[in-house]
Amino acid sequence: MTNDNKTILLVDDDIDFITAQKLQLERAGFKVIMAESQKKAEETLMTMRPDLAIVDLMLEYKDSGFALCHHIKKKDPTIPVILVTGVTSDTGLEFDAATQEERSWVKANAMLIKPVRFEQLLWEIEQLLQ
């Protein structure tokens, strides 16, 4: 498939994570718009509609990612959202977006655990954009 003209909103406060992902996504043919906070992402969403959003869980607050997922889905339920997090069972947090029930409250179509392999991210993106 061609990724030309598909725009991805990439939201993460780890500037190295988004810099690296942006470089790789652009190489794969996507147009990438970066935001380093929930606030900046919501401002960006006022002026554009991404084809897909990749959202980190912990931004300004530890649940900013959840709030942003809700915001995106409320604005346009057809935008696929991938929630990315490094906060998992090793830090005492357990949740997933693997089942319909989990996705219904997480408001994300998929969830990936950091460190994210780019090949895995690309596969998820292409599945969700089909």
Partner 1 sequence: MTTGLTTQQDRTRQNGQTPFGILAVAAHELKAPLSAVQVYLELMKTRAAGDDIAAYDHILGRSLIRLETMRQLILDIIELARIEAGRRPDFKRVDVAMLAAKVISDFGDIARADDIHIELKTSGHAYINASIPEIEIILNNLVSNAIKYNKSSGKVTVSVRTMNGSVIIEVTDTGIGIAAEDMDQIFTEFSRIKNDKTVAIEGTGLGLAIVRKITQVYNGSITVRSEPGNGSTFTVVLCC
Residue 84 · residue 110 · CB < 8 Å: no
The answer to whether 87 contacts partner 1 (rule: CB under 8 A) is yes
Residue with tokens 């998992």: 88
Q: How many helices (H) and strands (E) does the chain have?
A: 5, 5
Residue 17 interacts with partner 1 (CB under 8 A): yes or no: yes
State both tokens at 72.
């995106």
Member of 1, 2, 4, 27 binding partner 1 (CB under 8 A): 27
Nearer of residues 46 and 130 to partner 1, judged by Cβ: 46
| E strands in 1-130 | 7-11, 31-35, 52-56, 81-85, 110-113
Q: Which is nearer to partner 1, 39 or 49 (CB)?
A: 39
Distance CA 126, CA 70 (A): 22
Piece in contact with partner 1 (CB under 8 A), picked from 3-11, 20-28, 43-51, 75-83:
20-28
Site residues for partner 1 per CB under 8 A:
13-17, 19-20, 23-24, 27, 36-37, 39-40, 58-63, 66-67, 70, 86-87, 90-93, 114-115, 118
